[in-house]
């Protein structure tokens, strides 16, 4: 398989250098842009598999770059920014970013986010069965198994979990989830969401207090992480 190409749009040379070393030594191809406009041109000339986008660019606000990219670019975009307020994170996710990491970040965390964003962009609905360690979610038969045992979920719990599974690795904001599962009238009813998440965790996590599948992004939303590497159940074809 070809190396995945990653485009870095960041004006700080030190950060670009660090990212380049990190990514190249982890077998990714790397291209770099120091300004927003340069990044837009590079992304349109050679569409990368993934874009790492800084928000504080000298020529154009990163949010606007994100918006312009999203007009035609469907691949994953991960925001790397020193801004860490929930408002900014939620806005970036609403504008179509797949993920958000605030600087400073740990390298392991960055690589994990990149892996999961790339994986979900390849899957794109084509995979009806999601395997994650001891958990198996079958979107066709609407069944969930843990350790090969059927998990009993209510309709809402299943809808919520399958929504997460179809957006593997992606942060889904509270508002998005409430709107998608309960409808637009419920976007302020975040306590429903919290209760249902707690219920689902009780059913699918070994220790609901230290979840492995369904993670909290504090103040922003939740993220489902599948870890197929350790899945012993199904070997994929193709």
Partner 1 sequence: MTGNRRQYWLSLGLVLVVATVCYVISAYLGYRVIAFILLLTVSLIAISFDILPVLVSATLSAFIWDFFFIPPRFNFHVGNTDDAILLGMYFVIAMISAVLTYKIRQVENASRKKEEKANTLKLYDTLLNSLSHELRTPIATIIAATDNLQSGNDNLTGENKDELINEISKASLRLNQQVENLLNMSRLESGFIKPKIDWCDVGELVYDITRKIEENGITQKISININPNLPLIKTDKVLLGQSIYNLLNNASLYTRPGSVINIIAVIHVDILQLIIEDNGEGFPSGEIGNVFDKFYRLRYSKAGGTGLGLSIVKGFIEALKGNVRLENIDTGGARFTIEIPCETSYLTVSP
Give me the residues that bind partner 1 (CB under 8 A), please: 86, 104, 154, 156, 190-192, 194-196, 198-199, 208-210, 216, 218-219
Helix pair angle (155-166, 174-181), 10° resolution:
130
Q: Are strands 129-132 and 99-102 parallel, antiparallel or unpaired?
A: unpaired
How far is 210 from 122, CA to CA, in rounded Å?
29
Residue whose CB is less far from partner 1, 63 or 214: 214
CB of 155 to partner 1, least distance (A): 11
Task: Single out the residue of 50, 113, 54, 95 nearest to residue 76, CA to CA.
Answer: 50
Residue whose CB is less far from partner 1, 108 or 238: 108
8 three-state secondary structure: strand
Residue whose CB is less far from partner 1, 44 or 216: 216
Residue whose CB is less far from partner 1, 143 or 190: 190
Residue whose CB is less far from partner 1, 121 or 176: 176
Structure tokens at 45: 């000339």
Residue whose CB is less far from partner 1, 13 or 86: 86
CA 50 from centre of chain: 12
214 three-state secondary structure: strand
CB of 214 to partner 1, least distance (A): 11
Peptide bond into 104 cis (omega under 30): yes
CB of 167 to partner 1, least distance (A): 20
Task: Single out the residue of 131, 207, 221 nearest to residue 176, CA to CA.
Answer: 221
Residue whose CB is less far from partner 1, 56 or 128: 56
31 three-state secondary structure: strand
CB of 174 to partner 1, least distance (A): 8
CB of 152 to partner 1, least distance (A): 8
CB of 193 to partner 1, least distance (A): 8
Q: Where are the beta strands (DSSP E) in the chain?
A: 5-9, 29-33, 50-54, 77-81, 99-102, 129-132, 135-138, 143-146, 149-150, 171-173, 214-217, 221-224
CB of 102 to partner 1, least distance (A): 11
């Amino acid at each position: 398989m070809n190396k995945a190409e990653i485009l870095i749009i960041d004006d700080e040379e030190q950060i670009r250098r660090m990212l380049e070393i990190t990514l190249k030594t982890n077998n990714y191809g790397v291209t770099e842009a120091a300004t927003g406009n340069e990044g837009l041109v590079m992304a349109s000339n050679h569409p990368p598999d993934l874009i790492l986008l800084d928000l504080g660019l000298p020529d154009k606000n990163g949010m606007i770059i994100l918006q312009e990219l999203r007009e035609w670019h469907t691949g994953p975009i991960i925001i790397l920014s020193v801004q860490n307020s929930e408002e900014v994170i939620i806005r970036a996710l609403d504008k179509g970013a797949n993920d958000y990491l605030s600087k400073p970040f740990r390298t392991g965390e960055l690589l994990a986010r990149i892996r999961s964003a790339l994986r979900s962009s390849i899957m794109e609905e084509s995979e009806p069965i999601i395997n994650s360690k001891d958990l198996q979610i079958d979107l066709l038969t609407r069944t969930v198994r843990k350790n090969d045992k059927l998990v009993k979920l209510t309709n809402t719990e299943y809808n919520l979990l399958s929504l997460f599974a179809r957006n593997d690795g992606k942060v889904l904001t509270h508002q998005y989830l409430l709107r998608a599962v309960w409808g637009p009238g419920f976007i302020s009813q975040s306590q429903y969401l919290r209760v249902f998440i707690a219920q689902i965790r009780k059913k699918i996590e070994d220790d609901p207090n230290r979840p492995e599948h369904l993670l909290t992004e504090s103040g922003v939303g939740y993220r489902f992480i599948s870890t197929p590497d350790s899945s012993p159940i199904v070997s994929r074809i193709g």
